[in-house]
Structure 1
Amino acid sequence: MATTSSASGVLRGYVLPALLLFALPVFGLWFTGYASNWFDERIRSAISQQVMQDRELDEVQRKEVLEVYSTFSAVDACMSTDEERAGFRASFGDGCTDAMQFGWAYRGALGLVLLGLASALIALLCGLAAFISRPIQYLSFVVGWNLLRIATALQVIGQGALAVWLSYWVTAVLTQRYSVKLILAVGVMAAAAAFMVVVAIFRRPPMDFEVEAEVVEESKAPELWAHVRKLCQRLQTPPPDHLLAGIDANFFVTESDIRVGERTLKGRTLFVSLALLRLLERREAEAVLAHEMGHLLGGDTGHGKRLAPMLARFGQYLEALHEGGLTRPVYYFMLSYRGLFELSLGRSRRTSELAADRLAASVTSGRDVAHSLVKVGAYANFRDRVEAALFNRDEQHQSVAIAQRVAHGFAEYAQSEALQGDLHGSVTPHPFDSHPPLSARLENVGVKLSPDDMGQMLVEPVTSSWAEAFEDADGIEARLWGAYESRFSKAHDVALAYRYAPSNDEERAHVERYFPPMTFEAKEEGHEVRLTFAEVHCEEWAAPVHLNEVTTATTEDRMFKKYLDLVLNGTGATRGKVSICLNKLKDSEALLAAFGHYLGRHRASKEHQQSAERDAA
């Protein structure tokens, strides 16, 4: 049942949207055929009329001429270079120009269909090849990405040109008229789409990976550095060049460049969590370190470093396709290829994680690996719960004190039913990889732990921790937690400004701190606009409009002037629609930006209040 559901989800989410790549070219093929027949009928009708009116022809000759033209194709004749049809082309004159347009449009649409089929074949072959091995995975992505970005760029340009051509001929053929505005609009969209895609192909995204941590030199943790070097010597892999200490709920190793404050670290970097080290016995922490060094030994970090720039450029390219309007069908196609590649990448990463776990078990023990996995997973889940509960509260915090709340509440959480629910299928957080579920990792190292075993393990006091090996572990944690909790508190305050209705003076003051009353001056007296978190008022109006009354807000050009039109729901004093003439304001763009911001806040607040009422019911 789950497999069927998964297959159905892939079909709906990836395969069917990817077929939109062929929508416009296939329509172009159909329409050019239809238009060619329409054009031929007009030509045959005109020829038939001329033949019937030609008094120099007798009935037999008329019949012969009409039979010749009965299967005649103006498009074929005009596109042909045969001398036999030169007379036809000469007799058509300017009419051949239109006929040739249909012929070239047909060829262009057919070319786009064939290019799409070739692209689909490349995507499928490269995507499947990525499952074979890691070297082939990298090679297949290099080939797939480079070929498909060129092919899809050609699709964008080709489909844009086809869309412009169709914007004229579809209306001309079907309604005997055309719209200049439609042609210009489609032309602008096609040009913008092509520009965005070409720019995205050549733009290099920033590759900064910023980590909030402190660099720990060897003199600040000599015992830990010595242990890591000894471990790497045993595994026969070069040791890390840098050691970072932080408070995130994970450990990781990478060969990518990392930015820490003002410094950029190059080479191999090991990140350790002081918060987790305090929870782990030394042997358990050593199992984690052996696991991370296993990634260095297995080439996982090097593989990730090579792939990262291309994946980042691919992501940037997808974003451009998504935002390009006419490029959306191409976006869905490329998203499908990315999805297929991510499946292979996820499988290889899970294989690497399990291999690193087995290596760690051989260096320490399966029990140490299992205990470290449970402790890391439990801590990460409980910390997420604490932070979510704090952030979801609808009142300001005097002090968030996340570190203290986690430390004081962890033992109770470890004995609760919530622990087992969180750990069942739990995935260890990691900045680079998607790890296998906890159950699979425990089975991989040959350890079975009952719920009681897990709970007991988590509340047992730690006898010896590698956190003690740091010269200034307390200071590092205090500085990092202070910065993190400050950002958390500020983000929560901003969220409250979006949640409050407000219902009292204190909440009103908080909302106005982030959404203060604003006045937008007019070029002439009598057109000033005032905006608050609750309402908008233009001096030309009889009364202010509460934001709760606004159904839609759009801009429109009328009589060479630009207006902000507000459609109202009729619950207030004002009915129907009100407008603000933006040309009368000194800074209309500032009003549009602010109004969108304030209206978004009001709607977010309304949605939050309704959600709270539903939860309380």
Structure 2
Amino acid sequence: MDFGKLGVTRNFVLPALCIFLVPVISLLFFLHAQQQLNARYREAILKQIANDPTLNEEQRHEATAFHRAIPLSRLILQDEVAKSFDAETRFHFATFRWAIRLSIWSIAAGVLVLALAGVCVLFSMRSQRALALSLAVGWHVLRIYTAIQVLVQGVLLVALSFWVTALWFNLYSVKLIGLTALLAVVAAGTLIKGIFTVPKFSAEVEGEIFPKNHGAPIWKELESICATLGTEPPDQIIAGIDDNFFVTDAPLTVNGERYQGRTLYISLSLLKQLDGDEAKAVLAHEMAHFSGMDTLYGGKISRLEHRYDHYLQTLYEGGTTIPIFYFLNVFRFLFALSLGKHSRQREFRADGIAADVVSPQSNAKALLRVSAYSAYRGNVEQEVFDQESVLESTNLREKIEQGFAPFAQQFLSSADLDHIETAHPFDTHPPIADRLTAMGVSLRDRETTALLETKGDGKWYELIAGASEIESNLWRSYEERFLKVHEQSLPYRFLPENDAEREIVERAFPKMEFSCKKGLITIDDQSIAFAEWQDKLPWSDVGNCVLDDGTLKIHRESTAGGDLQIKMQWFRAAAERQQFLETFEKYLGRYKIAAEFQEQKCRQREEDSSAE
């Protein structure tokens, strides 16, 4: 996403202004319609005045000037005048009058909400508490406003669907009016669903739960750190193998069980790589988030964000509610800027506390080692995943543990620290270089560049009872999933050139046959064949495909043979039609993905050759 000035305007501001499109068009049209009706009646009234024998010249002049100056749309508001016109005329003027009012109110409300939401965004920059309060107020104001807007714009659209054709073409379409009314009802239903649906907020984390146990070594050390910081220890610890540490007040699901309260997640795989002071600095940093109520406000903000995002998704999928989606999305973007600002402040504060508890050098060393581990683990996993053959095993754990130390020693000389951030499931972190600078640690110092030359002693890893067994079990489960995903991806990489590749693809995409009134249809990983066609149609020759009025129309990229079609009525049962269409889409999609993958490989090889 482009977040430059032009990018923000194009991606957020201009789409958000679409919410004013219907009321502005309605306002202009109904002002025009009212003017037309005024002109029509003015002409009739002036003609009547001119031909009225009971009026003298002075009276005729005064009456003419009066009706030229004051339109009937204003005069008809008086009961005496209104009674002199039929019900249809009064209804027409009332319709125009209320359409104009609704349009003006809609535009004014939009401007007012823009201003109010802007104030909320500015106020949210003050503190985390202000951010949580602003997001809560903004959520309630925006959803009430959007509910009213959907109703008002629905009414305006229905009015337009009748009057545009009636005024300009002297006719009206019942189908057009009915369709517009149906779309308005669907939009209202979508909005109500989004407003009153409260999504469940619970992240799933893989690991082993350690409930609070004051006698366990890991808990003793944590309680000591918390006592220093003046905060309560977490309610539970989750030991896992991800490449990060984090704390949260948000509900978490572990092994099917939901846990509330303050949670600390520790990575066993990372603890093994850190020495005692590094691990203490990391945990002091995490406990500092508790002491600053970061997790308390973070949890409130996350739940509001989750509900806001769910509402946005509902509006985006509603079709006719797309303008509402873009209007709300601009504020979601602005609140995200505020959230990013507070996130950076939280991390700098926690880094400073960790540096005070241990030392700036130990905290810097921990940050660098965690970043190096995350980068190295990502490299190893990508390298294994890129292998284009069926794997018997991955040995990820062994490869990472054996190769990490030499990688870490040269990490500072090869990494772009201006863009490296530590991983976190719920938050964003400033780049490592900024965090080190804030602690007064310079990357140019020899002392800093030598920080990762020695291996960590894994002291805190030994404080966790059964750590080795827990870690082994978690890695075993992770590698099994990794193998499964890798195997599932292989058929989408090949345009088979040998028996091994062909076996992989055909095992996942075997030949399928479908019988219809016109003969047999055969689909495999290379092509689709039909008894009605002279030759097989290779997937490489398939362009745009459209299901139009029960006929699958297949555009051929080559000119030979022309386009092809398969009518769904040729199948005997609806289930057979559905299975055929799903298979067609699946096999064609696989080929297109594999072709794009092979093309990217060729481009990458060319770029690598040019670089050499």
> Which residue of structure 1 lines up, in the alignment, with residue 25 of structure 2?
27
Cα displacement (A) at 1:435:
1.1
**Quick one: distance in 2 between partners of 1:293 and 1:135?**
19
- Residues 359-384 of structure 1: CA deviation (Å, up to 9, x unaligned): 11111111111100110111112222
1:382-421 alignment to 2 at 5 Å?
Answer: 382-416=376-410, 420-421=414-415
1:126 to 117, 120, 136: 120
Q: Secondary structure at the match of 1:433?
A: coil
2:590 paired with 1:601: yes
Q: Which amino acid aligns with 1:568?
A: R
Cα displacement (A) at 1:129:
0.7
Distance 1:419-1:43 versus aligned 2 partners, 3 A rule: farther
> Which residue of structure 2 lines up, in the alignment, with residue 285 of structure 1?
279
Gaps of 5+ in 2: 607-612
Distance 1:132-1:112 versus aligned 2 partners, 3 A rule: same
Cα displacement (A) at 1:235:
1.9
Cα displacement (A) at 1:117:
1.1
> Which residue of structure 1 lines up, in the alignment, with residue 435 of structure 2?
441
> Which residue of structure 1 lines up, in the alignment, with residue 553 of structure 2?
565
**Quick one: distance in 2 between partners of 1:598 and 1:182?**
40
2:81 paired with 1:85: yes
> Which residue of structure 2 lines up, in the alignment, with residue 548 of structure 1?
540
**Quick one: distance in 1 between partners of 2:325 and 2:204?**
29
**Quick one: distance in 1 between partners of 2:217 and 2:292?**
25
Distance 1:222-1:172 versus aligned 2 partners, 3 A rule: same
**Quick one: distance in 2 between partners of 1:163 and 1:530?**
49
Q: Secondary structure at the match of 1:94?
A: helix
2:451 paired with 1:457: yes
Distance 1:600-1:62 versus aligned 2 partners, 3 A rule: farther
1:511-550 alignment to 2 at 5 Å?
Answer: 511-520=505-514, 525-526=517-518, 530-537=522-529, 544-550=536-542
Answer yes or no: is the 8 Å Cα contact 2:519–2:532 preserved in 1: yes
Q: Which moved further from structure 2: 357-366 or 478-487?
A: 478-487
1:615 to 566, 591, 604: 604
Cα displacement (A) at 1:444:
1.9
Q: Secondary structure at the match of 2:451?
A: helix
**Quick one: distance in 2 between partners of 1:29 and 1:439?**
54
1:115-154 alignment to 2 at 5 Å?
Answer: 115-154=109-148
Q: Which amino acid aligns with 1:566?
A: I
Q: Which amino acid aligns with 1:85?
A: V
2:14 paired with 1:16: yes
Cα displacement (A) at 1:26:
1.1
Cα displacement (A) at 1:452:
6.0
Q: Which amino acid aligns with 1:610?
A: E
Distance 1:192-1:454 versus aligned 2 partners, 3 A rule: farther
- Residues 376-421 of structure 1: CA deviation (Å, up to 9, x unaligned): 1111122222223333444433332222222233244335578543
**Quick one: distance in 1 between partners of 2:323 and 2:89?**
34
**Quick one: distance in 2 between partners of 1:195 and 1:546?**
45
Answer yes or no: is the 8 Å Cα contact 2:82–2:90 preserved in 1: no
Q: Secondary structure at the match of 2:574?
A: coil
Aligned residues: 602
2:241 paired with 1:266: no
1:210-359 alignment to 2 at 5 Å?
Answer: 210-216=204-210, 222-359=216-353
1:354-369 alignment to 2 at 5 Å?
Answer: 354-369=348-363
Distance 1:552-1:260 versus aligned 2 partners, 3 A rule: same
> Which residue of structure 1 lines up, in the alignment, with residue 610 of structure 2?
none
**Quick one: distance in 2 between partners of 1:507 and 1:140?**
56
Cα displacement (A) at 1:211:
0.6
Answer yes or no: is the 8 Å Cα contact 2:405–2:455 preserved in 1: no
2:454 paired with 1:467: no
**Quick one: distance in 1 between partners of 2:390 and 2:56?**
98
Q: Which moved further from structure 2: 415-424 or 495-504?
A: 415-424
Answer yes or no: is the 8 Å Cα contact 2:274–2:457 preserved in 1: no
**Quick one: distance in 2 between partners of 1:434 and 1:319?**
22
**Quick one: distance in 1 between partners of 2:409 and 2:183?**
59
Q: Which moved further from structure 2: 225-234 or 444-453?
A: 444-453
2:465 paired with 1:483: no
**Quick one: distance in 1 between partners of 2:558 and 2:170?**
42
- Residues 40-95 of structure 1: CA deviation (Å, up to 9, x unaligned): 4444556677788x6978996988776655456454455x2x134225533xx424
Cα displacement (A) at 1:336:
1.2
1:581 to 552, 568, 577: 568
Distance 1:344-1:532 versus aligned 2 partners, 3 A rule: same
Distance 1:56-1:591 versus aligned 2 partners, 3 A rule: farther
Answer yes or no: is the 8 Å Cα contact 1:497–1:511 preserved in 2: yes
> Which residue of structure 2 lines up, in the alignment, with residue 191 of structure 1?
185
Q: Which amino acid aligns with 1:103?
A: R
**Quick one: distance in 2 between partners of 1:510 and 1:330?**
47
Q: Which moved further from structure 2: 366-375 or 472-481?
A: 472-481
Cα displacement (A) at 1:474:
2.0
**Quick one: distance in 1 between partners of 2:94 and 2:547?**
41
Q: Which moved further from structure 2: 200-209 or 412-421?
A: 412-421
Answer yes or no: is the 8 Å Cα contact 1:220–1:470 preserved in 2: no
**Quick one: distance in 1 between partners of 2:243 and 2:274?**
12
**Quick one: distance in 1 between partners of 2:445 and 2:185?**
61
Answer yes or no: is the 8 Å Cα contact 1:545–1:572 preserved in 2: no
**Quick one: distance in 1 between partners of 2:597 and 2:559?**
21
Q: Which amino acid aligns with 1:34?
A: H
Answer yes or no: is the 8 Å Cα contact 1:40–1:72 preserved in 2: no
**Quick one: distance in 1 between partners of 2:73 and 2:278?**
78
The TM-score normalised by the length of structure 1 is 0.88
Answer yes or no: is the 8 Å Cα contact 2:441–2:448 preserved in 1: no
Cα displacement (A) at 1:543:
5.1
Cα displacement (A) at 1:149:
0.9
2:36 to 26, 31, 38: 38
| Root mean square deviation, CA, Å | 3.1
Distance 1:381-1:99 versus aligned 2 partners, 3 A rule: same
Distance 1:118-1:592 versus aligned 2 partners, 3 A rule: farther
Distance 1:549-1:463 versus aligned 2 partners, 3 A rule: closer
The TM-score normalised by the length of structure 2 is 0.89
Q: Which amino acid aligns with 1:89?
A: F
Q: Secondary structure at the match of 1:249?
A: coil
**Quick one: distance in 1 between partners of 2:224 and 2:252?**
24
Cα displacement (A) at 1:600:
2.7
Cα displacement (A) at 1:317:
0.4
Distance 1:6-1:586 versus aligned 2 partners, 3 A rule: closer
> Which residue of structure 1 lines up, in the alignment, with residue 609 of structure 2?
none
Gaps of 5+ in 1: none
- Residues 241-260 of structure 1: CA deviation (Å, up to 9, x unaligned): 21111111111111222111
Q: Secondary structure at the match of 1:435?
A: coil
Answer yes or no: is the 8 Å Cα contact 2:249–2:262 preserved in 1: yes
**Quick one: distance in 2 between partners of 1:62 and 1:545?**
84
Distance 1:120-1:213 versus aligned 2 partners, 3 A rule: same
